[in-house]
Amino acid sequence: MLEIKNVTVKFGGLTAVKNMSMTIEKGKIHSLIGPNGAGKTTLFNVITGVVKPVSGEVIFQGKNLLKVKPEEIIYKGITRTFQNLQLFNFLNVYENIYSGIVHNFNGDIIQLINGKSKSFEKDIRDKILGIAELLGIKNRLSSYPTQLSYGILKRIEIARAIVSEPKIILFDEPAAGLNTEETNEIEDIFKLINKKREITILLVEHDMSLVMNISDKITVMSFGEKIAEGTPDEIANNEEVIKVYLGENENA
């Protein structure tokens, strides 16, 4: 579904990603892990067109994504979340989720503002209510972000990401800042959206128990390069991976 082929990214003299290749299969949950500075976020930025590689290709459903402008990536069925929450504090939860969907509107924007596109509005409302129900935030739709806990805000961000019905979502450290209970909830939500909405997931995450519980496949990066790839069991027993993570702990 999404193929990264021999991608190299340089920032001045620093090679942040080196000859990196990986394939994300349709319908799977694929995690990308590695120590700080390994190049994971840079690879996300390449997929979403924000960072241009010096060489390599990114192919999504047979098309070269590197030719697509970053603001048009969403039309291809790819959305992402960021390490820091990017919700609008002046919009309520319903409106925040809504903000993820307007991109898909093909009609006349003036018609939309005038409320003439009633069936479109109803479809959107039904969609938002369905997603809010799925993610357990239906009773929060009229609240504002500043009134809600961090765990709930994370769910709203996921709701906004899935409302445009993407084919794949890139999650950048979704469990960062969450407690164990909230992380477990996120785990359940990922399983739900992966199975019920058939959304493929690419996950960058430092929480190893989440990664091990949820992933069909794991790719490990270190210093910009892929050092291992396989199932959670294979990765947990891979000597090079263990070495990299032990080294990281020793340096911490």
Distance between CA atoms of residues 175 and 32, nearest Å = 14
Q: Which stretch binds ligand ATP (CB under 6 A): 40-48, 119-127, 140-148, 236-244?
A: 40-48
Q: Which of 31, 42, 79, 117 binds ligand ATP (CB under 6 A)?
A: 42
Contact 2, 202 (CB under 8 A): yes
Of 41 and 194, the one with the shorter C-beta distance to ligand ATP is 41
Nearest distance from C-beta of residue 10 to ligand ATP, angstroms: 9
CA dihedral 191, 186, 161, 7 (to 10 degrees): -80
Contact 117, 107 (CB under 8 A): yes
Of 16 and 156, the one with the shorter C-beta distance to ligand ATP is 16
Q: Which of 41, 81, 219, 222 binds ligand ATP (CB under 6 A)?
A: 41
DSSP state for residue 133 in the 8-state scheme: H
Q: Does 249 bind ligand ATP (CB under 6 A)?
A: no
From 161, 230, 231, select the one nearest 189 (Cα to Cα): 161
Size of site (CB under 6 A) for ligand ATP: 11
Q: Which stretch binds ligand ATP (CB under 6 A): 39-47, 53-61, 101-109, 114-122?
A: 39-47
Going from the C-alpha of 38 to that of each of 41, 45, 62, 68, 191, the distances in angstroms are 9, 14, 28, 25, 26
Helix (H) or strand (E) holding 23: strand 14-24
Q: Which of 1, 22, 30, 39 binds ligand ATP (CB under 6 A)?
A: 39
Contact 17, 53 (CB under 8 A): yes
Nearest distance from C-beta of residue 36 to ligand ATP, angstroms: 4
Interacting residues toward ligand ATP by CB under 6 A: 11, 14, 16, 34, 36-42
